[in-house]
Copies of this chain bind each other. A is one copy, B any other.
Amino acid sequence: MPVNLILLYVSDFIDPHRVRIHDRRFQHMRSVHQAQVGERFRVGVLNGMTGEGEVVAISERQVELNVRLNQAPPKPLPLQLIMALPRPKMLKRTLETVATLGVKDLWLINSYRVDKSYWSTPILRPEKAREHLLLGLEQAGDTRLPRIHLRKRFKPFVEDELPALARNTRALVAHPYDAQPCPAPTSEPTTLAIGPEGGFIAYEVEKLREAGLEAIHLGPRILRVETAVPVLLSRLFPLEL
């Protein structure tokens, strides 16, 4: 797989314009790209600027790059994304996809159709989740790490937190029944809730509506969560974002 961006951490810098890398990123540059002295790669500092890095030294154990960081990363989506916790296999891909698409705030919440066991997956451990988010950022060429908020109880979240999150935003829940068509793309701040496989149950949709969310549908086809996410974000936001 290509690396569209090599993410750099503050700890990689050995002086203000030079980094030294010796982990997974180095392995990848070496084995996949057969990086050579003089070659250039797109780089970006985690939560910072992007630019170009030129290989100035490479050994069996590490690579050194001179870096010039002069470009802002892509704009974040003005979105608060709320998702019923997907099953582990899908969670991995979901974390990568939301990071790739520019989501910066993701709430993973409980729902009647979320199996309790999903909450004990190692993928939810901060360091594991972060790995998948970083892969998504590298894919997109982005540097800004999304924040994940875990809410293991549906009702307290929807009653006590969600109304304030949703206020003054375009607040939506994707739901195939008794819903309006998905609205046109705009850049306005948006709160979007996406249910589990099989959807939110009627009680949950009712609670989400009470919190200020309007139900929207995506047309006659029922989509898997991992397909629904890119479809919804493409329909809700303009191309520039």
Residues of A within 8 A of B (CB): 1-2, 4, 74-75, 97, 100-102, 139-142, 181-182, 197-198, 218-224, 227, 230-231, 233-235, 239-241
Contact = CB atoms under 8 A, between A and B. Distances in A.
A221 B2 contact: no
Contact of A234 (B74, B181, B224, B234): B234
Given A142-B221, A223-B140, A197 B1 contact: yes
A217 B75 CA distance: 16
A139 B227 CA distance: 11
Is chain A's interface secondary structure helix, strand, loop, or mixed overall? loop
B182 A141 contact: no
A239 B4 contact: no
B222 A140 contact: yes
A239 B100 contact: no
17 contacts: A2-B198, A74-B219, A74-B220, A74-B221, A97-B224, A100-B221, A100-B223, A100-B227, A101-B221, A139-B223, A142-B221, A182-B239, A227-B230, A230-B230, A230-B234, A234-B234, A234-B235
A4 B222 contact: yes
Contact of A239 (B140, B219, B239): B219
Contacts of A224: 97, 100, 139
Interface centre among A2, A74, A142, A234 (most CB of B within 10 A): A234
A181 to B, nearest CB: 5
Interface centre among A4, A102, A197 (most CB of B within 10 A): A4
A101 B234 CA distance: 14
Given A140-B223, A218-B239, A227-B230, 15 more contacts: A4-B222, A74-B219, A97-B224, A100-B221, A100-B224, A100-B227, A140-B222, A141-B220, A141-B221, A141-B222, A230-B230, A230-B231, A230-B234, A231-B233, A235-B239
